[in-house]
């Protein structure tokens, strides 16, 4: 018996423009009402699909991380993830250098 295909992602059932609001808001750390609407759609996405979507967006940075809601995160939230990741990797690298020195 064949496994049924996974259900379509929730974002395929709504207007794609919903995920690309005109601005990222005045306070980039806070999602705008338009971004919150898109985030609510992403909240209905299966966790595995959402994680894959977010990873794809982060891997495609900087082009993808500049605009819109992707992978359950706003552009500002994705930039923060990338910044924290870079900071952690830098700290790990510096610690490795210190061990060698
Ligand atoms: S997480 Fe990605 S695949 Fe899922 S609804 Fe949001 S944009 Fe679509």
* Residue boundaries of the structural domains of the chain: 28-100
pLDDT digits (tens, 9 = 90+) for 28-41: 778 999 999 999 99
Question: What's the CA gap between 42 and 60, in Å, rounded?
Answer: 19
**Higher pLDDT, residue 45 or 5:** 45
Beta-bridge partner residues of 70: 73
Q: Give, as one character, the DSSP assignment of residue 74.
A: -
Q: How would residue 24 be classed by pLDDT, with cut points 50, 70 and 90? A: low
Residues 6+ apart with CB under 8 A from 18: 34, 37, 38, 41
Q: Residue 77: its pLDDT value, please?
A: 92
Reading the block at residue 74, the tokens are 């706003």
* Residue position matching structure tokens 């379509």: 8
Check residue 23 and give its pLDDT.
66
Residue 66 to residue 57: CA distance in whole angstroms: 10
50 Cβ closer than 6 Å to some ligand 1 atom:
yes
Residues ≥6 apart with Cβ < 8 Å to 29:
76, 80
Candidate from 36, 53, 69, 77 with most ligand 1 atoms within 8 A of CB, to mutate: 53
């Amino acid at each position: 018996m064949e496994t049924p295909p996974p259900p379509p992602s929730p974002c395929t059932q709504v207007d794609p423009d919903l995920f690309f609001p005109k601005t990222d808001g005045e306070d980039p750390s806070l999602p705008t009402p338009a971004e919150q609407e898109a985030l609510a759609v992403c909240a209905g996405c299966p966790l595995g699909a959402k994680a894959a979507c977010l990873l794809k967006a982060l891997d495609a940075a900087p082009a993808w991380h500049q605009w819109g809601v992707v992978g359950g995160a706003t552009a500002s939230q994705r930039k923060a993830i990338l910044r924290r990741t870079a900071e952690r990797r830098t700290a790990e690298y510096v610690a490795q250098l210190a061990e060698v020195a």
